[in-house]
Structure formats: structure tokens, C-alpha cells
A = this chain, B = another copy of it.
């Protein structure tokens, strides 16, 4: 009897679920139509329905458990969402117990960026590596730290707030109260903000700035250069702190790699003795927005192993 697990990703607008074999093959993926904004009861019901659909279909195999990637912070022992800034109605919701009770199967929660880092370690750009840092570039910048093959959680599950590393003490202000947070200088949102400051247009997307850079626009290229420098400052500090062999970047701005990577790597080279004297890789992640699904699916296997 083959073993499989079910990974659930609550990181998007709707939730997604996937059945994944123990060898990492994703055998089926379900996207659910109920918007997460309808609230935790609707989402929990969707998760239960999705899992039951998959479980019925693979009833010949053994279900190892269910992993769920959740945005925001999780109170780990309790399995409760502690803080999800964009969807406060989920806060304090006992996701794990609700779903465990409904399904009679073990459920493990994990922060979505941590899940993505775990997914990349298992089946993506981090295969064969036990220690890596993932930076997810989106509206903000999230992160996941894998140390010795496991997620580094910190005391309250709040570790890896890598978007709030200070890269410039008097830089752009951040909603967290700080100034010069990495995410205000290198996220997709920051690309748009810098594009506006460069008079590239009023209603701009990060993709617009990318297209302009690809078309040879110097100001658009300067935006990505600045973004790369900021990433490089943060990465150099992370490398000096961790001396891990691998640092991964994922998210919408990754296609602009050719425009931000040269200045990023130049900063890292200059700012990290450790980088210069070791084989440290800085690379794009591989699994795109499926990383979190893989990572969530890996949780029950890791827990059992």
C-alpha cells in the first residue's frame, strides 16, 4: 500500500489542495472556488471536502496525514492562527482541531512561507540540501529558514520575518514601525513605488516595470538595480549570520532576474567575506507557487520520519 499525504495551501485568494506520494510525485491537485475571504468556517469546510474527495479517490493508499500552509503566524502547540494581517477573521480560529475532528486524520499547520521553503528543500531547488533560506518576493517579502532539514520556528513561530531586516536605517518607512525594511526596497510593491518615483507611470504594475526594463528603459533598469542592491545587503547579512550553502528567491519579480541579479550579487560579493570564501549559491526557487503545496504535503512525512 503506497503512502501519500495531502497538502493544502491557504496562501492565495482561494485554497488549493494536492495529493502527493511519499516520493514527492504530485498525483492530483484541486483548486477550490470558495474565496478565503468568506471566512474560516467556509474555508475549513472546503478543506474537509477537498480532502474527502482526494481520500475517496486514493482509498487504496495509506493517507499519512494532512499539512496546511497558512499565511500569518501560528500558535504551534495549539494549532491556532494567531495573526493573519489581511484576514483578521481567521485570527484565533482553531483550524487544526476543526479539521482533525471532521476528518479523523492528523493535521499539521505551518506558515506558508515556511511551507514553501520546506517544499523547495524536498522537491525543488534545495534538493539534497539540509540548510537554506528562502525569500519570497511579493506584496511584501516573506521568508523561511530550513536548518538541519527542519523549519526554524523561533519561540512564537515568528522566525524568518526576513522582509523586515533593516537594510538602510533611514530608508523607506514600513507599516511595522521601522524604516528601511527590506520589503520596502525589494518587493513587487517596492518595484512599483520606485517605478512611480522614476516617473514611469501612475498606474503601474511590477510587470510593467519589467517590460520597460526588457525594452531597454534606463529608469526601469535603475529600479531593478536598486532592488538588487537592497536584496544584496540583506543576503550578505544572512550569509554572514547563517553560512548556509543555499539562498533561494521566489515570487513575481523572479523573471526580472537578469535585471536585479548583477547588482545583488555585486553587493553580496563586496559585503560578505563568507560568500567570497565559500561555495554559497544564490538562486531562483524552482517550484513557483506550488512550493507551498509540496511543503505542506511534506509535513506529515517529516513528522512520521
Contact = CB atoms under 8 A, between A and B. Distances in A.
A106 interface: no
A140 to B, nearest CB: 12
Interface string A161-173: 1101111110000
Contacts of A168: 168-169
A164 to B, nearest CB: 5
Given A158-B274, A177-B270, A270-B178, A166 B233 contact: yes
Counting every copy of the chain, the complex holds 2
Interface string A155-188: 1111111101111110000001111000000000
Interface stretch (A12-20, A46-54, A215-223, A242-250): A242-250
B161 A240 contact: yes
Contacts of A179: 271
B243 A164 contact: no
A236 interface: yes
Given A169-B233, A278-B156, A161 B271 contact: no
Contact of A159 (B153, B154, B156, B242): B242
Given A155-B244, A243-B156, A243-B157, A237 B165 contact: yes
Given A166-B236, A177-B271, A177-B273, A245 B161 contact: no
Contact of A236 (B156, B160, B178, B277): B178
A243 to B, nearest CB: 3
Contacts of A245: 155
Nearest to A270: B177
A226 to B, nearest CB: 12
A156 B245 CA distance: 9
Nearest to A154: B243
Contacts of A161: 240-241, 243, 273-274
Contacts of A270: 177-178
A244 B153 CA distance: 9
A131 interface: yes
